[in-house]
Amino acid sequence: MARALLVVLDSVGIGGAPDAARYGDRGADTVGHIAEACAAGRGDRAGLRAGPLAVPNLAALGLGLACEGATGRIPPGLSPSEPPRALWGHAIERASGKDTPSGHWEIAGLPLPEPWGHFPDTRPAFPPELIAAFCAEVGVPGILGDCHASGTAIIDTFGDAHVRTGRPICYTSADSVFQIAAHETAFGLERLYATCRIARRLCDPYRVGRVIARPFLGDAASGFRRTGNRKDFSVSPPADTLLDVAAAAGRALVSVGKIGDIFAHRATGREIKPSGNAACLDAALSAFADLPEGGLVFVNLVDFDTEHGHRRDVPGYAAELEAFDARVPDIRAALRPGDLALVTADHGNDPTWAGTEHTREQVPVLAFGPGLATGPLGRRDSFADIGASLAAHLGLPPLGAGQAWW
């Protein structure tokens, strides 16, 4: 019986979706613009990286050809030197939005049928009645922030006031999200998580996709920095996903990174949550080594998005892509005959784009394994084709959406 490793490169989009203009993202292209910036010398950073984007292993899997399918051009440095040793294509999200839960649920075979609720880009951003109820239940005199903001900038702005007053920092973005930043020692990490559970319940009537705990450390003198103890409190998927179907069939499931949070810890099997892309991939490969036949390891690599995309950090994003590229041989080495590795993304976050938000983009689909077919997959009209194909590969019943390519 086959096994599968599903790797989501969080935010590694490859060109605007057909409806990108609706989101203000016409022309966005995360991988393409990073490659162009590096080729022009704008991706250099002393002590980190320099020169053209170097991702030969991803190019050999067909990443450049997937980009060509999405945008009509191969980014600099991504042309394969020989026919790719993989299936390659590009996928379009059917669900409305450009957020993490929508993308992951659709990858797992469940396109979100209705759009999320969002908070306006105003000051204040949150309804007064929501904040009044929140403050009363949490037991705080008020909040700081109450606006759309970058997560790193807002703790620089309000971190000192938060420590002095005990008021949590609450902010949102173009995503369907209520984020709460608090100091791990001055406010307390477990208290922050408890506060987020209250906010999760209060946000349900507003159809908010996620409440996110954003803990940080530091002080005004030395500066504040976010820690790796982020925790997402997501709505549970409204119907079965690939994970539910696999769990019902008694298959082994391992969720690495924030996968457990994204799926509200439903049918997510053994959960492992290291900090950082390298540690998450190490954990995924370690779990895959012991995975029984018919099992699935599902890993999200979030640093592309949180550390570089939202911060509009081209050199950092390029270095992260190169670091993952260097691990592709490790993924290949972990596969036995019949195993499938599938590399994709959940949305874009073009670091050359205006603002700090995700970008509505197509995503790469790169599937490979010993003895498996190679060649073009073309355009897939839903991320759900990924889940459908994984289900078919694992011998599971068909999902509710998506077309398998096998």
Residue by residue, DSSP assigns 20-36 as GGGGT-TT--HHHHHHH
From the CB of residue 252, how many other CB atoms can be counted at a distance below 10 Å? 18
> Residue 270: which H helix or E strand, with range?
strand 270-272
Rounded to two decimals, the pTM is 0.93
Contacts of 314 (CB under 8 A, 6+ apart): 34, 37, 38, 42, 43, 308, 351, 352
Torsion of CA 376, 92, 240, 287, to 10 degrees: 60
Contacts of 130 (CB under 8 A, 6+ apart): 202, 203, 206
State the pLDDT at residue 1: 75
**Tens-digit pLDDT profile for residues 178-199:** 999 999 999 999 999 999 999 9
Query: What is the average per-residue pLDDT within 108-133?
Result: 96
Q: Is 186 exposed, middle or buried (0-12, 13-18, 19+ CB in 10 A)?
A: middle
Q: Report residue 295's pLDDT band, with 50, 70 and 90 as the boundaries.
A: very high
In 3D space, the residue among 260, 266, 191, 268 whose CA is nearest the CA of residue 232 turns out to be: 260
Orientation angle between helical segments 128-138 and 189-203, nearest 10 degrees: 140
| d(C-alpha 234, C-alpha 103), whole Å | 13
Q: To the nearest whole percent, how much of the chain has pLDDT over 90?
A: 97
Query: What is the average per-residue pLDDT within 131-148?
Result: 98
Cβ 141 vs Cβ 175: under 8 Å: no
Q: Report residue 86's pLDDT band, with 50, 70 and 90 as the boundaries.
A: very high
Q: Is the pLDDT of residue 42 over 80?
A: yes
**Tens-digit pLDDT profile for residues 238-263:** 999 999 999 999 999 999 999 999 99
Cβ 112 vs Cβ 105: under 8 Å: yes
Q: Report residue 151's pLDDT band, with 50, 70 and 90 as the boundaries.
A: confident
